[in-house]
Structure 1
Amino acid sequence: MMDILGTTAPAADLIKDVGEATFMQDVVDASMATPVIVDFWAPWCGPCKTLGPMLEAAVTKANGAVLMAKINVDENQQLAAMLAQQGLPLQSIPTVVAFYQGRPVDMFQGAVPQSEIEAFVKRLAESAGGSADGGLGDAIAAAEQMLEEGAVEDAAQTFAAVIGEDDKSAAAYAGLARAHIALGDVEQAEAVLNGAPAEISEAAEIEAARAQIELARQAANSGPLGELQAAVDADPADHQARFDLAQAMHAAGDAEGAVDALLELFRQDRDWNDGAAKTQLFTIFDALKPNDPIVLNGRRKLSSMIFA
């Protein structure tokens, strides 16, 4: 955080060890004004020892645009259990969850490259109106709203303009790709992502757009929903029919139904077709926002089956 002399605030003001007694104050309340990244870790977790310092470096570099809370799950088991009951997938660590205005808005799990961590922090800062990017974050937010409202061509032009100003903006590349998907041009969407610089090619936004391209291709080849549902009803053990039904459901806009169908397939035979159900679930999860209830509930149910 910058003071009136323009110096950087001490790391202690940006990064805190948080427990059950201080969670409401240092995470929920603090996030009402400034996004808070919560790192769930444990001393025995090898990847945590690598990820933690990388996160701290990215948060410090952001100069107060985001804060960070570190929660040792071994010392705060009751808090972790309570958050898991509320939908956070804390069955494995490291898990990193971003809170803004009192609720989870983004997350990732496992060790990720430094570039992805920096993109995560930047995206969070931009979502809160951070101005370190010269206003490009506002332009991206405006383009996202255009896309949501159906002004797809205007959104595409805005995303392209942002790329013209910042060719390392993973959010802009992903947004432009999604605009082309909405326009029905999957090939051009893929070309956009293939043209992104190598250093952002594994950013979360890019991976999400790639998942959406895969789902769009599946939608173009999906079978008739009614016939597939009838086939599953006639033979609940017909794994191929259930898998095809899930694809058809997603193509029809029923992501939750698709996830439920794939979870049932995984429950019946997790190894069917080289684990196709799990792979398809992750494709759907990647295509949605990390804090989407469909993702949070789906991951929790899948984890309970895996570790049962």
Structure 2
Amino acid sequence: MEAMIIDVTQDNFDEMVLNNSMHVPVLVDFWAPWCGPCKQVMPMLEKLAHDLAGRFILAKVNTEEQQELANKYQIRSIPSFKIFHQGQMVQELQGAQTASAFREALEPYLKPDLSEDLRQQAQQAFNAGEYDQAIKLLGDASQANPNNFRIHLDLAKMYFQSGHLDKAEALMEKLPDEAKQSKEGKSLQALFKFTQIVANADDIETVQKTLQNDPNNAEALYHLSGYLMLHNHPDKAMSCLLKLFSVAPDYQDGVAKKTLIETFEMLQDERPELVNTYRRQLQNLLF
């Protein structure tokens, strides 16, 4: 879908804003060419319109040229923003805002995002072992909303969890910084750390045999934590790292503690109870 960004005048305000708001919310930006904060906010709003393409309309009113509209809506300072829904003004924001503030204000009025439903279906299919169906559903989701970067993060994670590490890393490299710096992106990048842990390790059978002969072998404990995380056993991986921290806290400049903290951040939203359990155990070892 195309982003809907329009310039609004006194002549077309009713049609462009009030009538269109019966179908999708309309965010009206009252601005002026001389206004510095207006110029700072405008690119952010235009990007949001692209990210949420088809789900709301960004209507721009130049108050220098449209003074009647500015007076009608009692614009005393700019930038000033008003959200219209179902023909009515439903919310106002004053002054420069963050992108998340605009998104939060729009959220109650946005049209449902089909791509999010398809993402959920894809995850359910993947969990049920229906790999090809999951990939197809993510493809459908991407067509429904090409700007939803979470779809591509889901795909990278599925590649990762199914052992296609090269595909996962290649896809992650192509993603925009916004995706990489998102909560989901950082979580996925943390997972890649475990691929690096095992990259130069012996095979898992050799690592396990080493630990049978020497249960406190720091290198083997570290490598086993990587294998366990990659095989989707985060609880066992964290147990391994806790043991490593208890027997060799200074191993590789304290890598056990650093990796545990990264793992906590990665799993906090998905497995909060598990994280809290192991976080307490780490605190007990620290204090």
Residue 8 of structure 1 aligns to a residue whose secondary structure is strand
Q: How many residues align?
A: 201
Preserved CA contact (<8 Å) 2:195 2:226 = no
Question: What is the alpha-carbon distance in structure 2 between the residues aligned to residue 248 and residue 279 of structure 1?
Answer: 17
TM-score, normalised to structure 1's length?
A: 0.53
Quick one: which of 206, 216, 223 aligns to 1:244?
223
Question: What is the alpha-carbon distance in structure 2 between the residues aligned to residue 147 and residue 265 of structure 1?
Answer: 33
Which residue matches 1:181?
A: 160
Q: CA deviation at 1:263?
A: 1.2
More divergent stretch after superposition (255-264 vs 149-158): 149-158
**Counterpart AA for 1:142:** Q
1:267 maps to 2:246: yes
User: Any gaps of 5 or more consecutive residues in structure 1?
Assistant: 12-52, 66-130
Q: For residues 283 and 63 of structure 1, do their structure 2 counterparts lie closer, same or farther at Cα, with a shift above 3 Å needed?
A: closer
Preserved CA contact (<8 Å) 1:219 1:251 = no
Residue 302 of structure 1 aligns to a residue whose secondary structure is helix
Q: For residues 286 and 161 of structure 1, do their structure 2 counterparts lie closer, same or farther at Cα, with a shift above 3 Å needed?
A: farther
Question: What is the alpha-carbon distance in structure 1 between the residues aligned to residue 175 and residue 231 of structure 2?
Answer: 30
1:154 maps to 2:133: yes
Question: What is the alpha-carbon distance in structure 2 between the residues aligned to residue 217 and residue 159 of structure 1?
Answer: 27
Q: For residues 232 and 297 of structure 1, do their structure 2 counterparts lie closer, same or farther at Cα, with a shift above 3 Å needed?
A: same
Preserved CA contact (<8 Å) 1:189 1:213 = no
Question: What is the alpha-carbon distance in structure 2 between the residues aligned to residue 56 and residue 198 of structure 1?
Answer: 16
Which residue matches 2:278?
A: 298
Quick one: which of 259, 276, 294 aligns to 2:255?
276
Question: What is the alpha-carbon distance in structure 2 between the residues aligned to residue 148 and residue 164 of structure 1?
Answer: 22
**Counterpart AA for 1:57:** A
Question: What is the alpha-carbon distance in structure 2 between the residues aligned to residue 299 and residue 62 of structure 1?
Answer: 36
Q: For residues 133 and 212 of structure 1, do their structure 2 counterparts lie closer, same or farther at Cα, with a shift above 3 Å needed?
A: farther
Structure 1, residues 188-241: CA drift from partner, whole Å, max 9, x if none? 111212222233221111222223344356567664556544544544442112
Structure 1, residues 227-263: CA drift from partner, whole Å, max 9, x if none? 5445445444421122223233334443211101201
1:61 maps to 2:125: no
Residue 90 of structure 2 aligns to a residue whose secondary structure is coil
Preserved CA contact (<8 Å) 1:156 1:176 = yes
Q: CA deviation at 1:141?
A: 0.8
**Counterpart AA for 1:297:** T
Which has the higher Rg, Structure 1 or Structure 2?
2
Q: For residues 226 and 196 of structure 1, do their structure 2 counterparts lie closer, same or farther at Cα, with a shift above 3 Å needed?
A: closer
Q: For residues 6 and 206 of structure 1, do their structure 2 counterparts lie closer, same or farther at Cα, with a shift above 3 Å needed?
A: farther
Structure 1, residues 242-290: CA drift from partner, whole Å, max 9, x if none? 2223233334443211101201222333331022212332454455462
Preserved CA contact (<8 Å) 1:250 1:258 = yes
Preserved CA contact (<8 Å) 2:194 2:227 = no
Preserved CA contact (<8 Å) 1:263 1:302 = yes
Question: What is the alpha-carbon distance in structure 2 between the residues aligned to residue 7 and residue 178 of structure 1?
Answer: 41
Q: For residues 160 and 220 of structure 1, do their structure 2 counterparts lie closer, same or farther at Cα, with a shift above 3 Å needed?
A: farther
User: Any gaps of 5 or more consecutive residues in structure 2?
Assistant: 1-82
Q: For residues 212 and 153 of structure 1, do their structure 2 counterparts lie closer, same or farther at Cα, with a shift above 3 Å needed?
A: farther
Structure 1, residues 33-58: CA drift from partner, whole Å, max 9, x if none? xxxxxxxxxxxxxxxxxxxx969826
Question: What is the alpha-carbon distance in structure 2 between the residues aligned to residue 192 and residue 155 of structure 1?
Answer: 17
Preserved CA contact (<8 Å) 2:264 2:275 = yes
Q: For residues 163 and 283 of structure 1, do their structure 2 counterparts lie closer, same or farther at Cα, with a shift above 3 Å needed?
A: farther
Q: CA deviation at 1:6?
A: 4.8
1:142 maps to 2:224: no
**Counterpart AA for 1:8:** V
